[in-house]
Amino acid sequence: MFQLHPYQKELVNQAREKLAAGNKSVLLVSPAGSGKSVIIAEIARLAVERGGHVMFMVHRQELVNQIVQTFQADEIDLQATTIMTVGKIANRLNRLPRPSLIITDESHHSLAKTYRKIYSFYADVPRLGFSASPWRMNGQGLGNVYEAMVEGPSVKWLIDHQYLAPYDYYAPTLIDVQKLQTSSTGDYTNKSMDAAVPKAIFGDVVSHYQHLAGGRQAIVYAHSIEASKQVVEAFQSAGITAVHADAKTPKGQRDRIMADFKAGKITILSNVDLISEGFNVPDVGVIIMLRPTASLVLDIQQSMRGMRYKPGKRSIIIDHVANAYRFGLPDTEHEWTLNDRPKKKKRDNTGPPIKTCDACYAVIPVQCKICPICGHELEAESTGMDVDEAAKLKKLTAKDFKFVVHHPNRMQPSEAKSLKDLQEIARVRGYKPGWAYYQAKNRGFIADRKWRKQA
């Protein structure tokens, strides 16, 4: 039987209190990586022990398989449960055992007709829903399917209390955001993402990975199969083991890829819309974002994939597509509500209060005058540019953008081959000596003892 953390027990108790107060449906909101499956299992176990029958539903078969394993690990009698995808339940309503409690995972999908058909059929059955981000791109709230909501602790609290790994967030390149166009679903079209993400970016992806996270296993989120395969080729050309996987990859092959990744035989795993909602992938600490998205839900699922806690672990997130400038950072506070979200005015270009350090590319609070990651004293011209302003520099590559906006000399830090090169960059740009030390040490140019002698 699982032993819940205190904050998980509190969330369970709050949900039970809401049901006891007469609410028939309650939404539980808890951040990605906070252990939703363990909380779900605890609630199901309590219901089954009291002679109830639990119906669990979710939209993907992979998630069904995972919750079955979780229930088994928690020693829950599966005979007292119905665990199926939403589609299968909807087609078997008259044949399934009548539940005493319905649990829905990834409940931001639950406004869809199939979900509501099931809820209507079991109108008098109490319901609990779970989501890390109850947010829909069309602005519609979940108040039509849930009467009450309880929230778990924030991402920042979970990091501070060692339930999620801390992170460093870098945005070393920007894409041409003017080319991004939304579809009827609200997210960006494949065609516009092809246009916005230049092929030249893939070389930068490898070099920035090597400088920021070299040697660590990483997951890459690409916007298309072609792009994913191209970035894999770029990594392979640099002598780094990398593979591609997507939803159409045969299950047997996909399972082998995941097993090899878990065993450390693969360093880079690039995917397309595969490793997102609850997909079971081995623990990893580095995330490379190459898929621009207009979905806060998808951004949270992808950016936080590397933040599951382990002692001493620090996640690295490398955002090449400016998602941070749409939604903020993983621990940016969001005001969750069951109500509809007011539509954003077209001319409202306000974004999260962040900026990119022009020395180490870390994304940091806009008010910072000194980068908390590398100690660089930030230049005035680098403190206020947002995505829309950057987009005005039309047809510039990500590398050009960094040169035009921030770098007064022609050598890029990524082009430096030695400590001497880095010291020259620091001299020309007026950086503090610590910047060259930080860069050189991270890239293996020097050891601490050698640096002290040269300094």
pTM for the whole structure: 0.81
Q: What is the CA 388 to chain-centroid distance, rounded?
A: 23
Report the pLDDT value the prediction gives residue 44, as an integer from 0 to 100.
97
Report the pLDDT value the prediction gives residue 407, as an integer from 0 to 100.
28
Structural class in CATH, domain 160-404 = alpha beta
Segments making up each domain of the chain, as ranges: 6-153, 160-404, 407-455
Residue-level pLDDT, tens digit, the chain, 455 residues: 889 999 999 999 999 999 999 999 999 999 999 999 999 999 999 999 999 999 999 998 888 988 999 999 999 999 999 999 999 999 999 999 999 999 999 999 999 999 999 999 999 999 999 999 999 888 899 999 999 999 999 999 999 999 999 999 998 866 888 899 999 888 999 999 999 998 878 888 999 999 899 889 999 999 999 999 999 999 999 999 999 999 889 989 988 998 999 999 999 999 998 876 556 676 899 999 999 999 999 999 999 999 999 999 999 999 999 899 899 999 999 999 999 988 665 544 556 888 888 788 888 888 888 888 888 888 654 433 344 443 433 333 333 323 222 222 345 566 678 888 877 766 655 556 677 777 777 777 776 544 444 44
Helix H, strand E, coil C: the string for the chain is: CCCCCHHHHHHHHHHHHHHHCCCCEEEEECCCCCCHHHHHHHHHHHHHHCCCCEEEEECCHHHHHHHHHHHHHCCCCHHHEEEEEHHHHHCCCCCCCCCCEEEECCHHHCCCHHHHHHHHHCCCCCEEEEECCCCCCCCCCCCCCCCEEEECCCHHHHHHCCCECCEEEECCCCCCHHHCCECCCCCECHHHHHHHCCCCHHHHHHHHHHHHHCCCCEEEEECCHHHHHHHHHHHHHCCCCEEEEECCCCHHHHHHHHHHHHCCCCCEEEEECCCCCCCCCCCCCEEEEECCCCCHHHHHHHHHHHCECCCCCCEEEEECCCCHHHHCCCCCCCCCCCCCCCCCCCCCCCCCCEEECCCCCEEEECCCCECCCCCCECCHHHCCCCHHHHHCCCCCCHHHHHHHHCCCCCCCHHHCCCHHHHHHHHHHHCCCHHHHHHHHHHCCCCCHHHHHHHC
Q: Return the CATH fold of 6-153.
A: Rossmann fold (3.40.50)
Q: Do domains 6-153 and 160-404 have the same CATH topology?
A: yes
pLDDT, one tens digit per residue, over 218-245 is 999 999 999 999 999 999 999 999 999 9
Report the pLDDT value the prediction gives residue 316, as an integer from 0 to 100.
95
Residue 52 in contact with residue 25, Cβ under 8 Å? Answer: no
